[in-house]
Structure 1
Amino acid sequence: MRTSGVCIAAVGTYLPDSVSVTEAVRQGRLDAAEAERSGMLGAAVAGDTPAPEMAVRAVRTALGRWGGDTSELGLLLYADVYRCGPDGWLPQSYVMREAVGGALLAVGVRQGCNGVFGALELAAAHLRGGGSEAALIVAADNMGSPLVDRWQSSPGYFLADGASALVLTRSAGFARLLSVNSRAVPELEALHRGTQPLGPSGTARPVPLDLGARREEFYAGGDRPKGWKERMMEAQRELLATTLDEAGVGAEDMSRLVTPHASREMTDAWTSSLGLTLEQSSWGFGRRVGHIMAGDQLASVEHLLMAQEIGPGDRLLLVGSGPGLGLAAAVVEVTALPPWAPGRHARIPDAAADGRH
């Protein structure tokens, strides 16, 4: 989807301190060889801080940086992955009460680790349709449940805690959202379900989260579609080509590839598919904080700004994957350094002059 006229006005995150993989190995929670193979350095751990409370902190930061009138907000989209409170209760209402106020539409987005991408599509359509002047997106999770082994529940990822938020507007911002798209490969739905039962009887009993075991169940199943890996790669190529084309750019125009916070191998798969290098990705940051579920990409964008690794003229390709099977991508162009970013008054070299594009 082309998203002309949609701007990113502010981002904000809340990240607790990380526990190192060295400590996880020392505690016997992670195999040393697996830690080495992953290339990851740690995972952010929030302890007893609830995910909705982390969401409130990230939202307050984003709204404070935006500096706009919250009455201009017409939509709040809350993305999460894991259970975060009592059944029958909605975390977006808590965020409204604690940080936003007003009577805007507040909706939960259940799209797994692609939740922010789905929220971007929904919010962009809302803004372009004249629904309001601004929209708020937040993603938050605490994976500290006794049913979750953050070091081994999801192969290729160390599951972390944290929250990310951003404000989209129809007016000024520090960046433009040029395009955003999602692709589904529904024939691979069981890749994240395995043979787990559906319905109330299957969800009432406490079952440890083990996505690796579910994947093996899928591999062993007789209904696994032929050529499923090729179908997944084809969908990824189509998604990336469409998203870049709609933004009017090529992969060679990207200053950074913003990926999920995953292992070196999984990150390499994204970079190699685009002819980019690991150094051009966000992996240097992601490997330190772990996979904060749907919030990875927003947290990486904030880090790149605060670390002065991107500036006006830089283009970012954000990519993600999640259950469904779902794939997602977005192109963002930085147009100015926001007032809250370090080096706000420093001169940014011309993009053409310093060879970034």
Structure 2
Amino acid sequence: MKLAQEFILNVATWIPDGRESASAMVAAGRLTVGDAEDLALTEVPVSEDLAAPEMAVRAARRVLADAAWDPARIALVAHGWTYYQGHDFWSPAHYIAHHIGAGAALPLGVQQMSNSGAAALGIAAQKLVADPRAEAALVTTGDRFSLPGFDRWASDYGVAYGDAGTAALLRRRGPDERPGALRLRSLAFVTDASFEEMYRGRDHFSVAPLAHGGGRVDVKRPKKAYLEMHGGIEGFRGAALRCVNRVLRLALADAEVETEDPRIACVVLPRLGDSVLDLMYRPALDAAVKAEVFAVRESSGHLGAGDLLANAEHIVVSGALKSGDIAVVLGGGGGFTWSCAVLEAL
């Protein structure tokens, strides 16, 4: 997505106080030593009381306060998620709009697996491009991966899931921008929808949630079936690396930034285990960029739909960029769609 206009991004993350450590899971027999090493983290945040949309509201309030932005001026609230939002037949996006004071904004739910936050950001950008009356759009994510329906440590391969809310305020650039914001230079997506089968395997369509897997989300089971049906992982690996390379180059081209541009200070990966990053991200970047490539996951794990926005916030609060520096933030989600945001520090 090439953005002819200048859009500014303020970002915030809200992390609950609860924690579960990898070492405690190993001691309890819920995680092997090898799996813990692959995850490359010490702990994940755990919400003991707040549902996913409630965490999203807290992140949204934080970003609005940081930007000193009146929620009544928000035209769109796009909320993305990966897992259960706390009610069965209900709109979490409307809840968020209601509770932040953006009751006249258009609330929109975005469900695209772990890429939901990036997809919501794309919809927000398209809203501002298409509607000159829209001053700003709010993007939120919220996920809470709790038992009995989801085992954050064992439901998937190479991923430990952490709870969090994230938020981003996307708006038109003003005359006096304060430090701490980012310019969204471009946002690109590349999809290979043939891999949607990986998350259903041999399962038939069911009539109610959690009908497969004994009342708990079990991502490993359909993935294992998929690999058995397709003769292993190599076909997916090759396609994933091509898609990651393509989305990176597309985003940089749209931002009018060369792959070897010295302004690129870092490339940030999703908050996944080493086995997953080595499968479909790192090899595609080795020859493509010279900047530092890293994943911020040691105390968070994978935040479901929130990785891309949380990584953008990390770039700001860590002081990793000086004015004019560029960060490339990669994302992706089952289905599969990969995303890449090019961000510039003001």
What stretches of structure 1 of length at least 5 have no aligned partner? 336-357
Deviation by residue 1:333-355 (Cα, 9 ceiling, x = unmatched): 111xxxxxxxxxxxxxxxxxxxx
Tell me if structure 2 keeps the 8 A contact 1:6–1:171.
Answer: yes
Q: How far apart are residue 226 of structure 1 and its match?
A: 9.1
**Higher mean C-alpha deviation, range 304-313 or range 104-113:** 304-313
Residue matched to 1:267: 277
Letter in 2 for 1:127: L
What stretches of structure 2 of length at least 5 have no aligned partner? none
- SS of structure 1 residue aligned to 2:114: helix
- SS of structure 2 residue aligned to 1:3: strand
Residue matched to 2:122: 121
Higher strand content, 1 or 2? 2
- SS of structure 1 residue aligned to 2:149: coil
Deviation by residue 1:265-309 (Cα, 9 ceiling, x = unmatched): 4335524422389992342x3222111111112112222322222
Tell me if structure 2 keeps the 8 A contact 1:157–1:290.
Answer: yes
- SS of structure 1 residue aligned to 2:322: coil
Residue matched to 1:280: 292
Residue matched to 1:110: 111
**Higher mean C-alpha deviation, range 113-122 or range 264-273:** 264-273
Residue matched to 1:3: 3
TM-score by length of 1: 0.86
- Computed over aligned residues only, the root mean square deviation of the Cα atoms, in angstroms, reads 2.4
Deviation by residue 1:18-67 (Cα, 9 ceiling, x = unmatched): 32211221222211222123322221111232111111110000111111
Letter in 1 for 2:171: T
Within the alignment, does 1:214 sit opposite 2:222 as a pair? yes
Distance 1:153 1:225 in 2: 19
Distance 1:251 1:114 in 2: 23
Distance 1:24 1:203 in 2: 24
Letter in 1 for 2:201: G
Residue matched to 2:307: 296
Q: Could you tell me which of 309, 334, 338 is aligned with 1:323?
A: 334
Tell me if structure 2 keeps the 8 A contact 1:79–1:110.
Answer: yes
Within the alignment, does 1:230 sit opposite 2:238 as a pair? yes
The 1:266/1:131 distance shift into structure 2, 3 A limit, reads farther
Residue matched to 2:202: 195
The 1:53/1:288 distance shift into structure 2, 3 A limit, reads same
Distance 2:297 2:12 in 1: 16
**Higher mean C-alpha deviation, range 197-206 or range 75-84:** 197-206
Within the alignment, does 1:23 sit opposite 2:24 as a pair? yes
Distance 2:187 2:297 in 1: 22
Residue matched to 2:71: 70
- SS of structure 1 residue aligned to 2:2: coil
Aligned length: 334
Residue matched to 1:257: 267
Residue matched to 1:344: none
Residue matched to 1:355: none
Distance 2:166 2:326 in 1: 20
Q: How far apart are residue 108 of structure 1 and its match?
A: 0.2
Tell me if structure 1 keeps the 8 A contact 2:241–2:283.
Answer: no
Tell me if structure 1 keeps the 8 A contact 2:31–2:154.
Answer: yes
Q: How far apart are residue 207 of structure 1 and its match?
A: 3.1
The 1:271/1:232 distance shift into structure 2, 3 A limit, reads closer
Q: How far apart are residue 83 of structure 1 and its match?
A: 1.1
Tell me if structure 2 keeps the 8 A contact 1:43–1:288.
Answer: yes
Q: Could you tell me which of 237, 247, 252 is aligned with 1:239?
A: 247
Residue matched to 1:169: 171
Distance 1:62 1:222 in 2: 45
Distance 1:243 1:302 in 2: 19
Q: How far apart are residue 325 of structure 1 and its match?
A: 1.4
Q: How far apart are residue 118 of structure 1 and its match?
A: 1.0
Letter in 2 for 1:218: Y
Letter in 1 for 2:318: A
**Higher mean C-alpha deviation, range 104-113 or range 27-36:** 27-36
Tell me if structure 2 keeps the 8 A contact 1:154–1:211.
Answer: yes
Q: How far apart are residue 228 of structure 1 and its match?
A: 4.1
Letter in 2 for 1:256: C
Tell me if structure 2 keeps the 8 A contact 1:4–1:178.
Answer: no
Residue matched to 1:156: 158
The 1:131/1:210 distance shift into structure 2, 3 A limit, reads farther
The 1:145/1:124 distance shift into structure 2, 3 A limit, reads same
Letter in 1 for 2:47: A
